[in-house]
Structure 1
Amino acid sequence: MTSVLKAFPQSGNPWQLQTRRASHCVLRDMAITSGSVAEIALTLSDTTKERLRHVNIRSIDPLELSQLTLMLHHEGYLAHEACSELGHYQVDYTGLIDPLRQAWSGLESIRGVDDVKYALAIRHYETAIDAVLGIERLTGYLNGRVVDVYA
């Protein structure tokens, strides 16, 4: 397995996850970054939209989270790092979790200790945080709770 590390770009994009790049097995190594939440919602299948409407990403069963992230990864909406990081919670947790809180906690526990040694873990946590925030915005938009406005 080979990993390439680079600086994580700061962006005002609500779906802040890399750019699309096709790879083997119909998976994507990197997901969609361009577009507003409304534009991303337009590209979702009806099945995916319906599933996302019923998700509370801040209180979710780890197995459901794993299945959701794998589905979004297969469809090209979620980076591999985020899918991998969020999928691991099913191993360690039972009951409902807040993956955003878990990812922030993990990131805080290693940030500053040895950023070079933990660079890959830091990237995975940052991407997972990005993914949860993006999914939260998308589910809010699909449920009519968020207005997507750009000035």
Structure 2
Amino acid sequence: MSGASRTPEVLEITANAGVVQARQLVRALAQACRLSLVEQTKLITAASELARNTLIYGGGGTMTALLVDEHGRRGVRLVFADQGPGIADVDLALTDGWTSGNGMGLGLSGSKRLVDDFVLDSTPGQGTTVTITKWAR
């Protein structure tokens, strides 16, 4: 891996099959980045939760995945984007134990703890974008 990044792959998440495809792609990228098995599991778990949120709460959207090489570090960056209702209270949504429905129970706060970098951008009525990165150790 050289340069800022490799070519991003974009997956449509419009049905449960998209969530499964997202997990498979993330696993392949995590292995290509040489993340440890534990770090792979953390990233795949976070990606699964975020893909499911994109489908259920965002009404579907996309996951953009790419390998990144920044400041001498290699990692996997994932961007989940939807055009759904957005999140009215981002701070509340990032509170441990908070849920807006019947998800896996991990929630946004759990996903945030599983990765190294986590950025949530949401505007009510305009959708949500979550960007996560897991760096190889």
- Under TM normalisation by the shorter chain, which class is it? 0.3 to 0.5
More strand by percentage: 2
Greater C-alpha radius of gyration: 1
What TM-score results when the alignment is normalised by the length of structure 1? Answer: 0.32
What TM-score results when the alignment is normalised by the length of structure 2? Answer: 0.34
